[in-house]
Amino acid sequence: MPIEGRTLWEACHNFCDYLNRVLATTVKETRLVPIGPRNATRLQVAFRGGGGRLPAALLRTRFGPMALYIGQLCETIQLGDARQRLVTVEYRYTLTPGDLDEAAQHEPLLRWEYVREPEGGGRWCRHHLQGAVQLEVGREAVSLNDLHLPTGYVTIEEVLRFCIVDLGVDPQSARWHEILEESYERFKTGFAPRGYI
């Protein structure tokens, strides 16, 4: 079932309500919130619950505390029946070791990004991974931050799965795997309008 609404705001609130249920039953009960100007044609989604000025969720991983940032820019496409379907035009997902204050001062270890339309003629991969990771490429030391490693569209569900399986975050429920599987399938079959990602 695609994420839709009568307006951009309604579609975005539906999107956040859905994701927050997934988050609360898998990795973290921290709320994603849509914000934007009143007559906006696009809205931003990020962690902003609780009045905090740090838009990230603190995870307890097997490597210590880590800040998870999830951010998206969302627009809608008009459907024929006066409803609008949500599309993601940009995302940023980052994982940074440290508590929220400490992590806010450092480059993320891993940073997944998607830009539907790079400005200025940028020809790098629209879906890419970067991070503060040193690679040996031939005789050169290259930072992953200087490359745009292609990834395909990375879903929030896959990032959450990475947090649980690879980073050792304790899942919020015993059904975390099924919840992420179901959500991922919904995204593949319904959320992503073909031609828009």
Partner 1 sequence: MAITRTLPESLQNAIERGELSQEQLRELISIEASTLGLSTDDAISLARKRRLPKTYIGADLELLVRLLPA
Please give the residue ranges that form the binding site for partner 1 (CB under 8 A).
Answer: 9, 12-13, 33-38, 40, 42-44, 46, 48, 51-56, 67, 69, 71-73, 90, 92, 94, 96, 101, 103-108, 111, 119, 130, 145
Q: Which residues 6+ apart lie within 8 Å of 24 measured at CB?
A: 172
CB of 93 to partner 1, least distance (A): 9
CB of 115 to partner 1, least distance (A): 9
Q: Are 67 and 55 in contact (CB under 8 A)?
A: no
If the CB atoms of residues 13 and 177 are measured against partner 1, the closer one turns out to be: 13
> Which two three-digit tokens encode residue 85?
């379907």
If the CB atoms of residues 48 and 83 are measured against partner 1, the closer one turns out to be: 48
Q: Are 172 and 164 in contact (CB under 8 A)?
A: no
If the CB atoms of residues 22 and 56 are measured against partner 1, the closer one turns out to be: 56
- Alpha carbon 109 to its chain centroid, in Å, reads 15
Q: Which residues 6+ apart lie within 8 Å of 13 measured at CB?
A: 5, 34
Q: Are 49 and 35 in contact (CB under 8 A)?
A: no
CB of 138 to partner 1, least distance (A): 25
If the CB atoms of residues 61 and 177 are measured against partner 1, the closer one turns out to be: 61
